Structure formats: C-alpha cells, structure tokens
A and B are shown apart, each in its own frame.
Chain A
Amino acid sequence: MSESSFQQSAFELSIKQSHQFIANRWNKRPRYGIILGTGAGDIANAIVAEEIIPYPEVPHLPASTAIGHKGQFVCGTLVDQPIIAMQGRFHLYEGYPVDQATLPVHVMAAMGVTDLFISNAAGGCQPDWIVGDVMMIESHVDFMYRATPRMFARTVHGRPLTRSDLYDVARIEQAIVHARAEDFQLHRGVYASMLGPNYETRAEYRYLRKIGADAVGMSTVPEVAVAATYAMRIMAMSIITNVANPDQLVETSGHDVVDAAAIAAPKLRSLVENAIKNTED
C-alpha cells in the first residue's frame, strides 16, 4: 500500500468512526446541516435538540478554542426538519491541519446531509455597510494557502465542477426576496478568507477591497471546498461585525465581534428557516 493510499484509507476510517459515534447517539438521516459561526450560536436555540454531543467526545475531533464558540453538535429538528448543527467550528488559526478542521463536513456528508448552511462573522470592506448587516456569499477569494487534495471535487453528477457552482444561486435569490419581505438589509458579495488570527491592517483592507472582496473573515472557505466535493447545496452568510473604513479605522476586538453578531442573529435565523421551508423535494 502506498503512503498516500494509506493516508487516504486512514482518513476514510476517521470519517467512519466519527460518523458511527454520532449515529449511535442520534440515529437520524438529516437532510440539512448548519455550521454556526462566531456569536451566531443563538440560532441553535431555535433547534429542537434531541441530542447534544460536545466535540471532544467525538473521535478525531479537537476541542474548539475560539471566543464565543461552544464546540458541540446539536442534533434535532429545525422547522420540523431533521438537522445537524455545529455550534462552534474549527479555525485554521487554532493550528489544526485543514483536513482535521473540516472533518465534520465529511461526517455530515456521511450522515446524509445534502443542504448545508454556513454562517460566519466577517469584517465588511464596504464603508457604507452597517454593523449587524448580513451578506449572502456569492463567491470567495481564498487567501489561506492551505488547500489539500480532499478539498477539490473532480466531478458532480458526471460534469466537471467549476468554482462558480459553489454557492447556490437560487438560495441567494430566495434569501434576497425574503429579506425584502421581512424589511431588512441583505447584501450579496464576495468573501475573502484569511488565516488570521490578527485582524487586518488598514493597508490590507484597502488591498482586499481593491481586488473585489466585500467581507473578510477567517473561516468558511475550507468547509465550502469540502462540501462541494459532495455536491452539497451551499448557502453561506456573513454577519458584518465591523465595518472597515481604512481611512478612519477603529480598533476591533474579539468581544466586539461577538456583541455585533447578536444584532444579526434573528435575521440569520429567519433566512435559514425560510430556506428550509421553501426547499422543494
């Protein structure tokens, strides 16, 4: 057995063992998966929990160390549909190898998840945006430099996967219509993923905006890349927790980010519930 095929089968085994562990505690086949980012843990309250599994109990998963992150799977129902939620995620700045950080997405796929919702907290690069706004991610720029072969899909349903397939356009349209009906501001834009953990400098914000980024954060892109290899339908949302105006920049701290995310939490919940209610079979 070659080294790479050994690593491959060891990785498959980790997915299987993690999946088996969760299935022993909660034996449902959820169509929906959701990854709840910094400060957006509120949406977990809307889930009727049937089982809660802290990450350290699950084989092969590390404990999450980020501020505002609980670090557990919440298994249950949201608007009467079975769903598995990640309350807290693994960030690359915590030092995890990217394949370990994205293992939960592989596990979700093994459980049967085909529709994935992802939220994150991000800095807004558009000076006219407001703290607490939500942005539907329509595309991303990857500045993490950590891609592995497990993050590249070869084909989806027999046709080659291109990056334009990543974020489901119908979901974005649906969300924008819903936000209008609910009377809240919803943006649509490009998410730039950075390694972190330090926030960006003024010069970096200018640079990111110049190359077309609307929001900048430290997560999501690895998870999206893995979900795409399973042809999941992806809807990803950024909560704008600070607006970077490089010519008048104020300091950002992890705690401010958590506070600002609380404003956006109800909108996020509304968008996700609407998407689930309006999913065609």
Chain B
Amino acid sequence: MIDLFDKIQESVEFIKSKWDGTPKAGIILGTGLGPLVEQIDVAVAINYQDIPNFPVSTAPSHQGRLVCGTLNGVPIVAMQGRMHMYEGYPLKEVTLPVRIMKALGAETLMVSNACGGLNPNYSCGDIMLIDDQINLMGDNPLIGINDDRLGVRFPDMSQPYCPKLIDAALAIARKEDIVAHKGVFVAVAGPNLETRAEYRFLRTIGSDVVGMSTVPEVIVAVHEGMNVVGFSVVTDMCLPDALKAADENEIIAIAKEAEPKLTKLIMGLLGEMA
C-alpha cells in the first residue's frame, strides 16, 4: 500500500489542473443510477481513462466519467460508473477513487448501488439506507503494509455508516413520501447472481440486501476517516422460494425508474450540508 500515496497525489494534481474546486462530498453512482449527473452544475467531466492511475469501468450502464461541479449548491465530485471486483480489478484499484476523493477534500462519501432484496418486506424500487455491512468477498482492500499517512492499521468498523446521515436521509424520505428502509448490505464477489441456497444463507446470516460492490469502497472510506452514507436501490427481489430468473435489462430499467428518488435523497442531504 506504500505506493498508493504517490499515485493519489499524481491523480489529484491532474484533476486539480482541470478543476480548482474543493468538493465537500464524493458520490459513487451504481448500476442504472447515472442520471443524477443531469442535476449537477458540471464544471468539468473527465473520462476515467484520462486520469492517471484511475481504473476503467467495464460494467453495463456504467459510463466511466468523473464529474466535478456543484449539486444543490454544494461542490462535489461524482463517479458516473464504478469498478467492481468481478471485472478483475484488485480491490486496491477499485477503491483508489475513494482515496482520491478524500485527497481532493471530500469529507463525506455518498455511495449507491443496485442490489437484490432479501428481506421479504422490501419491494422492487425501494431504497435502503445501509446501516451496516457484511464482507463476503473473500478479499480486503487494506491488505498490505499499512501507510499511516492514509489511515490506521486496524480500522474500527463498529459504525461504518454515519447514523446522523442515515437519520437525515430517512427524514427526507418521509417528507418526500419515498419508501426507504434501513438495513444490512452483504457484498459478494460475483459476477454470477446467487443460487436459491445462497439467498437462504445470506438471509439467515442477517442480510437485507445483497450486491457486488460498495463494501470495499466503504472499508477504504472508514480507513480514510470519511463520513459515509450508503443507498441501496432494490432492483430485484431474491425470494428463494419464489425466485424468478434475474434479467439484467429489467434490473437496469428498475434502477432508472427508482433513480429520481435517490436523486431527491442525495440532493436533500447536500442541501443540509450547504
């Protein structure tokens, strides 16, 4: 991990040469959730491949642009599309953008994903504020010699998601008449979706939703000492005893449909930060 520090500096210098703002928050937009970018007063949008050390996103409906500007009056950087472990990237690379966001000045990370719902009380299109997480990816982005300039060797994970931000988001959801839950996100490596037996297992161990991202980014955000708020958009229901085959296009369509709700919540939170 010792080489990360210099890489981060290099990427930050490049981004700063294009944009001189200091973001208050970094936003990661998951599958089908890119349209939030339309609300951003864009100063500059940089393709991932142009940023030194930045990995390139290959997942469907992930555009691969770092959008810098202001959203609801607050300077932000947003990742339109993210990198996943299942694309073959080492977790250190997947999470490098989070470290870059922090180095640019972002104290808050807002992360979103499309996920499968395990809690039978949830419905497709619902939003879940992530209260806690389980890492079943079989890997960790912090493995290696620790760089104390970035964070501590053994980060505490008793409260990876900021309770104040969760409560604020839930209050906004109530006001806007949006169905929002609070629950546990479990991350698996993917890329195949789970079997019925795996869904039963994940539900039994206490998960409400399952996805293939977010956990590595949040571990790194905690390592960096950031405040984190996480939004899971339920794009298919994974009820093992009444399971329908997952359809990628349908998942993306549902994410797009739910996206305005996510936009309202993120804009609302930013409004309170302004």
Contact = CB atoms under 8 A, between A and B. Distances in A.
Contacts of B140: 93, 195-198
Given A93-B140, A253-B156, 19 more contacts: A65-B145, A67-B153, A93-B142, A93-B143, A94-B143, A195-B138, A196-B142, A198-B156, A199-B156, A201-B132, A201-B134, A201-B157, A203-B133, A203-B134, A204-B133, A204-B134, A249-B158, A253-B154, A254-B152
Nearest to A254: B154
Contact of B142 (A145, A197, A206, A257): A197
B158 A207 contact: no
A250 interface: yes
Interface in B145-196: 145-146, 152-160, 184, 186
B76 to A, nearest CB: 26
Interface in A122-180: 143, 145
Interface of A: 65-67, 92-95, 143, 145, 195-204, 206-207, 210-211, 249-254, 257
A206 B153 CA distance: 23
Contacts of A195: 138-140, 143
A208 B142 CA distance: 21
Contacts of A196: 140, 142-143, 154
Residue from B143, B146, B158, B223 with most neighbouring chain A CB atoms (10 Å): B158
B135 A204 contact: yes
Instruction: Give the interface size bracket for B toward A.
Output: 20 to 34
B156 A94 contact: no
A177 B169 CA distance: 55
B206 A199 contact: no
A94 B152 CA distance: 13
Q: Nearest 10 CB-CB pairs, A to B?
A: A95-B144, A145-B138, A203-B132, A207-B205, A249-B158, A251-B156, A254-B154, A198-B155, A201-B157, A203-B184
Contacts of B186: 203
A203 B186 CA distance: 9
16 contacts: A65-B146, A94-B144, A94-B145, A95-B143, A198-B140, A199-B155, A201-B134, A202-B132, A204-B157, A206-B205, A207-B205, A251-B158, A253-B152, A253-B156, A254-B152, A254-B153
B204 interface: yes
